[in-house]
Amino acid sequence: MLSNGAAGLPRLPTPYSGILDALEYMMDDPIRQSRRFFGLVACGLTFCLQAVAGESLVPVRAVTVGNPVIAVIIDDLGNWRSAGVRTASLPGPVACAVLPHTPYGADIAERAYAAGKEVMLHLPLEPIRHRAIAAGTIHLDTTQTQLARIIAVSIKSVPHAVGVNNHMGSLLTQHPGHMAWLMSELHRRGDLFFVDSYTSEASVAFQIAIENDVPAIRRDVFLDNVPTEAAIDREFQRLKSLAVRNGIAVGIGHPYPATLAYLERNLPRLAGEGFRLVSVAESIRVLGRPEDRRVVQH
């Protein structure tokens, strides 16, 4: 959960977060960002309207019968061959999210598929502040036609992709228009699910995916924002606690040596601890239809 600046003090999304992000983004580079300022303001206003209308600002979760369910995704695959090969060999149905147009992306996707793992397109979306933009990034000034072309080319570069999740995207996932274009394209293809990596607390990606009948779920925990064994263990325990509380929890990690070593040791223990490790597609089936879900706080 994100904090409000005071150590460990949690906060829920505020209706003004998109507007505040817009102001901060504008001050960072006033001339270059002027066109994008109003896009962020629109995101903030949309969030305000959702709050006024009484729409839930906390994504829904399923309360399941039986063992709590956990899904794990490893992001950012494709640039390092050895890390990708090791990820494809992780125990259990760990999903492999591969960046498009990377040196080893296609090979890692093939290895993951051969190992019986889900392959996902880790689609780069524009962030608010990050300067190193990956190949194939969808920007705020990308047109709908360009977006459809980027998705088509990116999916082609990642063989066997059955789902999509966002790489970065703290800016674009706040933008209802671009998210509607993205989900419309995924719906048109008819064979891809979506995972909101939830890189912004003001993200509307999950909600708009559901509105466009795209099978979707949202990330609950980043396992390795601090890639040390102690920090990873703390987040993994939090992932398990959320699964017990809500019936299901989704964790995202990265191919860091500490993360892979931790998962190699601890994923096989989940069944003995009463958890069920499942694919992302199965976690979405467990989550159920939108009308069957109820809101559960983190």
Quote the CA–CA distance of 100 and 131 in Å, as a whole number: 18
What is the total residue count of the chain?
A: 298
Residues with pLDDT less than 70, the chain = 1-65, 131-132, 289-298
Assign residue 120 the CATH number of its domain: 3.20.20.370
Same domain assignment for residues 189 and 153: yes
Nearest to 61 by CA among 237, 186, 221: 221
Evaluate whether residue 103 is within a structural domain: yes
One domain, residues 125 and 44: no
pLDDT for res 245: 97
Whether residue 122 sits in one domain with residue 256: yes
Strands 294-295 and 60-61: antiparallel
Q: Is residue 8 part of a domain?
A: no
The secondary structure of 272-284 as a DSSP string is GGT-EE--HHHHH
106 in any annotated domain: yes
Question: In this structure, is residue 4 part of a structural domain?
Answer: no
Let me know whether 133 and 171 are in one domain. yes
Domain ranges, residue 197:
62-295
pLDDT of residue 63: 47
| Residues 162, 39 within the same domain | no
Is residue 114 domain-shared with residue 259, that is, in the same domain?
Answer: yes
Q: Which amino acid is at 31?
A: I
Are both 36 and 84 inside the same structural domain? no
C-alpha closest to that of 252 among 113, 57, 88, 95:
95
Specify if 21 maps to a domain: yes
Q: In sequence order, what are the residues at sequence separation of 6 or more whose Cβ sits closer than 8 angstroms to the Cβ of residue 185?
A: 147, 148, 151
Asked if the structure places residue 5 within a domain, the reply is no
Q: Read off the pTM.
A: 0.80
Taking the C-alpha atoms of residue 278 and residue 283, their distance in angstroms, rounded to an integer, is 6
Whether 95 is in a domain gets the answer: yes
Q: Are residues 139 and 22 in the same domain?
A: no
Same domain, 95 and 141: yes
Q: For residues 65 and 68, give the distance between their C-alpha atoms in angstroms, rounded to a whole number.
A: 8
Q: Which of residues 8, 25, 52 is at a domain's end?
A: 52
Residue 12 falls within a domain, yes or no? no
The residues that bridge with 60 in the sheet, in sequence order, are 295
- Judge contact between 121 and 101, C-beta under 8 A: no
pLDDT on residue 134: 82
Task: Write b or e for each residue in 78-102: b if 16 or more Cβ atoms lie within 10 A of its Cβ, otherwise e.
Answer: bbbeebbbbbbebebbbbbbbbbbb
Looking at the fold, whether 144 and 25 belong to one and the same domain comes out as: no
**Is the domain of 158 the same as that of 92?**
yes
Q: Point out which residues pair with 221 in neighbouring strands.
A: 251
Query: Into how many domains does the chain fold?
Result: 2
Looking at the structure, tell me whether residues 201 and 220 fall in a common domain. Answer: yes
Q: What pLDDT, on the 0 to 100 scale, is given for residue 52?
A: 43
